């Protein structure tokens, strides 16, 4: 496989000031993206992920029920996990079964397949500051091996402030629908993720240090604006991961 093709994308940020400063189209949390029966137990992480994923599928004109998915998050259900640990530390140590059920890394992925009645494979991963890059690499491997199309969702809710002061915000999610091979109407082509020396944009470096999933911003900005073929960093780590992209031509 020479390239992945981007068919649609979506972005969601809960903070209106941050959302207004993003260089890409983005939305507030769309509670209608979550079915009513699941809505009351949904976390901010799940709301962000569902909102971005729904937007990406709409833009790509693809049914969520038909797409395998990759969900990536640095800390997953960190607020729920923090609550669970707090309860366990109490003398009685009583834990709500629903809280435990909703504390796992693949909560959003699992509920997405339930909500969309999707029987396609779904996976969940975390890789620290390289989470977005590893999500792209996982998507590449799946598409190169199996072909077809898939949904990639990268998200994180705000972290409890006392766990990592000055880090873990703003909350953000993005989603892309990707395909193997040329597809009519694709937005851009994305090459295989690889290590390189491309410098991450300084304007976003400090924010990405606080919220690593924001490493997706340069790639999404290219998707929104287009331009000449170039290499884009997808990790803020020095000598980190990058991809070659083109809005009009194949990947070189």
**pLDDT tens digits for 39-80?**
888 999 999 999 999 999 999 999 999 999 999 999 999 999
Q: Which residue has the higher pLDDT, 136 or 249?
A: 136
Distance CA 47, CA 173 (A): 9
Among 243, 144, 140, which residue's Cα sits nearest to residue 194?
A: 243
Percent of the chain with pLDDT over 90: 76
Confidence of residue 248 (pLDDT cuts 50, 70, 90): low
pLDDT reading at 36 higher than 70: yes
> How would residue 191 be classed by pLDDT, with cut points 50, 70 and 90?
very high
Rounded to whole angstroms, the Cα distance separating 118 from 69 reads: 10
Name the DSSP class of 68.
-
Across 206-222, average pLDDT: 95
Q: β-strands 69-72, 149-156: how paired?
A: parallel
Residues 6+ apart with CB under 8 A from 228: none
Predicted local distance difference test score (pLDDT) of residue 98: 80
- Cβ–Cβ under 8 Å, residues 150 and 64: no
The encoded tokens of residue 211 equal 């919220």
Which pLDDT score, from 0 to 100, does residue 251 have? 45
Q: Are 208 and 148 spatial neighbours (Cβ–Cβ below 8 Å)?
A: no
* Rounded-to-10 torsion of CA 8, 215, 180, 143: -130
- pLDDT score for 38: 86
Instruction: Look at residue 57 and give its three-state secondary structure.
Output: helix
Cα–Cα distance measured from residue 26 to residue 12, given in angstroms and rounded to the nearest whole number? 5
Nearest partner of 52 among 29, 19, 18, judged by Cα: 29
pLDDT at residue 252 is higher than 70:
no
Q: Are 12 and 32 in contact (CB under 8 A)?
A: no
Superfamily of domain 4-185: Thiolase/Chalcone synthase (3.40.47.10)
Confidence of residue 249 (pLDDT cuts 50, 70, 90): very low
Structure tokens at 60: 């790509």
The pTM (predicted TM-score) of the whole model is 0.94
Determine the average pLDDT of the residues in 3-15: 96
DSSP conformation class of 65: G
**DSSP string across 112-151:** HHHHHT--S-EEEE--GGGHHHHHHHHHHHHHHHH-SEEE
Do 214 and 73 touch, CB atoms closer than 8 A?
A: no
In sequence order, the 6+-apart residues with CB closer than 8 A to the CB of 213 are 72, 73, 74, 131, 132, 154, 155, 156, 172, 173, 174
């Amino acid at each position: 496989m020479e390239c992945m093709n981007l068919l649609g994308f979506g972005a969601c940020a809960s903070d209106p000031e941050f959302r207004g400063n993003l260089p890409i189209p983005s939305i507030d949390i769309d509670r209608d993206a979550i079915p009513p029966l699941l809505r009351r137990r949904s976390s901010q992480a799940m709301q962000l992920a569902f909102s971005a994923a729904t937007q990406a599928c709409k833009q790509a004109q693809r049914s969520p029920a038909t797409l395998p998915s990759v969900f990536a998050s640095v800390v997953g259900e960190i607020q729920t996990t923090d609550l669970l640990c707090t309860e366990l530390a109490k003398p009685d140590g009583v834990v709500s079964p629903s809280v435990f059920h909703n504390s796992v890394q693949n909560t959003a992925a699992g509920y997405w397949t339930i909500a969309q009645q999707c029987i396609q494979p779904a996976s969940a991963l975390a890789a620290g500051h390289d989470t977005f890059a590893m999500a792209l690499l996982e998507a590449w491997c799946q598409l190169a091996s199996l072909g077809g199309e898939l949904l990639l969702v990268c998200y994180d809710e705000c972290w409890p402030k006392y766990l990592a002061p000055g880090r873990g915000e703003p909350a953000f999610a993005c989603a892309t629908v990707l395909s193997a091979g040329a597809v009519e109407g694709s937005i851009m082509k994305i090459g295989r993720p690889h290590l390189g020396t491309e410098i991450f944009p300084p304007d976003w470096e400090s924010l990405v240090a606080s919220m690593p999933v924001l490493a997706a911003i340069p790639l999404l900005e290219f998707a929104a604006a287009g331009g000449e073929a170039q290499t884009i960093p997808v990790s803020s780590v020095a000598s980190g991961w990058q991809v070659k992209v083109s809005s009009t031509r194949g990947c070189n």
